[in-house]
Copies of this chain bind each other. A is one copy, B any other.
Amino acid sequence: MSDQQPMRVAMVGLGTVGSGVIKILFEQAERITRRAGRPIVVESVVVRDPTKVRSVNLADDLIDTAIDVIEHPDVDVVCELIGGTTTAGDIVRQALQAGKHVVTANKALLCEQGDELFQLARELKRAIGFEAAVAGGVPIIEAVSQSLSANQITSLEGILNGTSNFILTEMLDRNVSYEDAVAKAQKKGYAEADPAMDVDGTDAAQKLTLLAQLAFGTKADLKQFPRQGIDKLDLADLKYADTLGYRIKLLAVARLADGSLELHTQPTLIRKYQPMADVDDAYNMIELEGDAVGKTWFSGMGAGQMPTASAVVSDLIDLAVGRAQKTFPLLDLWQSQKPLPILPADEIKRRYYLRFHAVDEPGTMAAVANILGENGVSIASCIQHESESSVKTSPKEPKIVPLVLMTHICTEGQMKAADKALMECSRIKKNFLRLPIRD
């Protein structure tokens, strides 16, 4: 096999992931050749600053600064690893138009311009590999598009943001505040200096739209579904949930609901001892339910240099073998089925966790229960502690206590109306938080 023509790769970007890819291709060349049926050779690496000191040593003649080398006839595949969306999008278009296949780890790019890029690749009979774009170390793109191809996926739920999961694990396990946990995540390299996209749910929601498009053939916009980050959670919430028998995880959900597609990315209470509740640290997990296979779980590191590089190299191997060229045109990315309508947010049905501070005096609980009842929401359980967290403001004023409620199933619309009425109630003071529950 290895006497076949090598597959020649131009890499754009030599940051963390790029260096990892180089490390695997160079150090494990014999293994990669065996798995790919032919050598995978790095033809050139395009970087902005060739003088920068890097963690991998490359011969000077491999390094280039002119992007046009990706069009060279000696290049078969372009590996886009610079991140961002503007330049990255131009590079992918340029590569496809020059007749190259593309491998990318760039979920933001695919979320923003995926439809156009996928369509362009399809027209030009080229393939885009993007296993590394979602949950790096978890081969979930392959699972959805190949392994479970006999199934209609009926539900896809995932912990897709390792940074958020690390922060939540750290808070509960080490009994530290959100801010301290974020600082630790930054120190460990899991969170960027500005972790906004991770902790506000954007990153997980982007990954969800990609997975949902693959699994259901429906392209959703981030504005079309509820998205909530972990940045409003208190350590106290994780502890209340624990008392109630739950863990809180940033959960991205796409599932069939009466012919519509239900989508949301929110911190969610998950009953303890369910597989998804036990995923800790920076790990990711995706639970897929198929109409034939039933429930399946896929878990591994969601990001990091080598897990992501592993996914990029497996995409390169798929191209070298010729699998990707056969799989890509058959993906459910082209609305080959009638796209499902997205379930309006107000119609999403589930249980909810409510936490707020209220005045500790007779009639408060009755007032809260009345407001909920008037909006069609009924209470399933409740925690009201007379604990150290009760704040006595002054001898004259009544104490303020935290109140935690879990509801029975209701719609998001009913819950929203109830929220509004609760916040208008003079007995409820502040710190209002509402999270969905997954039983």
State the A residues within 8 Å of B (CB). 1, 20, 24, 28, 31-32, 34-37, 131, 137-139, 142-143, 146-152, 273, 275, 278, 285, 290, 292-301, 304, 306-307, 309-314, 317-318, 321-323, 326-327, 329-330, 332, 336-337
Say how many copies of this protein the assembly contains: 2
- Specify which of B301, B318, B329 is in contact with A146 (CB 8 Å cutoff): B318
Residues of B within 8 A of A35 (CB): 149-150, 330
CB pair B300–A296 under 8 Å, yes or no, is: yes
- 8 more contacts with CB within 8 A, not counting A146-B323, A150-B310, A321-B330, are A24-B150, A36-B149, A137-B294, A149-B317, A150-B309, A294-B307, A297-B300, A321-B327
Residues of B within 8 A of A336 (CB): 34
Closest to A307 in B: B293
Residues of B within 8 A of A307 (CB): 292-294
CB pair A139–B148 under 8 Å, yes or no, is: yes
- Specify which of B147, B149, B152, B330 is in contact with A1 (CB 8 Å cutoff): B330
CB pair B323–A326 under 8 Å, yes or no, is: yes
Distance from A17 Cβ to chain B, minimum over Cβ atoms (Å): 11
Given contacts A149-B35, A310-B292, contact A275 B299 (CB under 8 A): yes
CB pair B152–A28 under 8 Å, yes or no, is: yes
- Specify which of B139, B299, B322 is in contact with A147 (CB 8 Å cutoff): B139
CB pair A293–B301 under 8 Å, yes or no, is: yes
Residues of B within 8 A of A299 (CB): 275, 296-299
Tell me the bound Cα distance from A138 to B299 in angstroms: 12
Residues of B within 8 A of A147 (CB): 131, 139, 142-143, 314
Tell me the bound Cα distance from A139 to B143 in angstroms: 8
CB pair A330–B37 under 8 Å, yes or no, is: yes
Residues of B within 8 A of A150 (CB): 24, 28, 32, 35, 309-314, 317
The 3 closest A-B pairs by CB, nearest first: A139-B147, A150-B313, A296-B300
CB pair B310–A290 under 8 Å, yes or no, is: yes
Tell me the bound Cα distance from A323 to B143 in angstroms: 14
Residues of B within 8 A of A278 (CB): 273, 275, 278
Distance from A154 Cβ to chain B, minimum over Cβ atoms (Å): 13
Tell me the bound Cα distance from A296 to B300 in angstroms: 4
Closest to A34 in B: B336
Distance from A309 Cβ to chain B, minimum over Cβ atoms (Å): 6
Tell me the bound Cα distance from A142 to B310 in angstroms: 15
Residues of B within 8 A of A275 (CB): 275, 278, 299
Residues of B within 8 A of A149 (CB): 35-36, 313-314, 317
Tell me the bound Cα distance from A330 to B321 in angstroms: 9
CB pair B300–A294 under 8 Å, yes or no, is: yes
CB pair A329–B37 under 8 Å, yes or no, is: yes
Distance from A340 Cβ to chain B, minimum over Cβ atoms (Å): 14
Distance from A4 Cβ to chain B, minimum over Cβ atoms (Å): 11
CB pair B310–A34 under 8 Å, yes or no, is: no
Closest to A146 in B: B142
Distance from A35 Cβ to chain B, minimum over Cβ atoms (Å): 4
Tell me the bound Cα distance from A310 to B307 in angstroms: 28
CB pair B329–A138 under 8 Å, yes or no, is: no
